[in-house]
Amino acid sequence: METVRFLKEFLRNRHTMGAVAPSSPHLAERMMEVAEVWKADRVVELGPGLGALTGAIFDVLPRQSDYLGVDLNEDFVVKLRERFPGRRFEAGAAELFDFGAVWPDGDGYDAVISGLPWTMFPESLQVKILDRVLEGLRKGGRFATFAYWGFHWMPKGKRFRELLHERLPGVESSRVVLNNMPPAFVYVARR
């Protein structure tokens, strides 16, 4: 049922959504592993959608840790608040979001988990989002996002990887998760 809802949203919002189906549990598990979410005090999730990665985050995130999910789709945010009561979800554009207002102590966050469709975005938007979210990533913190295998060879995919290397040297790629539609891998980088 969730996949059907996700597909309907994709058809209505194909310019802001980059997937026709939610991420698989296998991809979510790989992201949690490489992002080391289990030891994070604060986690930001960009583009949680209907919560495929979100559920995996809460499976490993320490109970006392803080979480913030930011999604452009207000309908998704409403559903996420219902599904994960007591957790903070906000509707908004990641490149404009004031993360400092959520954590005004200026201490930042340990992990960024991104489900955003980077290769669908123009380079200018990729830069704005990365610059906004990375300014709050703590030293030693991790940024993790996934890419669909094969799409990373396209011009926008190559440029996104270059941007990651410019902003966070030492970007690594996980093994390909074949049990995802389409197959994907995770980029991870540490500040």
- Prediction pTM value: 0.86
Average pLDDT over residues 121-127: 94
CA angle 122, 141, 114 (to 5 degrees): 35
Q: In angstroms, rounded to a whole number, what is the distance separating the alpha carbons of residues 110 and 108?
A: 7
pLDDT tens digits, 84-96: 999 999 999 999 9
Average pLDDT over residues 180-187: 92
Tell me the percentage of the chain whose pLDDT exceeds 90: 73
Query: What is the rounded average pLDDT for all residues in the chain?
Result: 88
Axis crossing angle, helix 155-167 with helix 123-134, rounded to the nearest 10: 30
Q: Region of 108 please: left (phi>0), alpha (psi -120 to 50) or beta.
A: left
CA atoms within 13 A on the CB side of 33: 13
Res. 1 pLDDT band, cuts 50 70 90: very low
Task: Give 32-95 as a DSSP string.
Answer: HHHHTGGG-SEEEEE--TTSHHHHHHHHHS-TT-EEEEEES-HHHHHHHHHHSTTSEEEES-TT
Looking at residue 19, its pLDDT comes to: 53
Say yes or no to pLDDT of 5 above 90. no
22 versus 89: the higher-pLDDT residue is: 89
Tokens of 167: 């902003």
19 versus 62: the higher-pLDDT residue is: 62
Cβ atoms 184, 27 nearer than 8 A = yes
Q: In angstroms, rounded to a whole number, what is the distance separating the alpha carbons of residues 98 and 147?
A: 26
Say yes or no to pLDDT of 3 above 50. no
Q: In angstroms, rounded to a whole number, what is the distance separating the alpha carbons of residues 148 and 96?
A: 26
Cβ atoms 46, 133 nearer than 8 A = yes
Average pLDDT over residues 3-16: 44
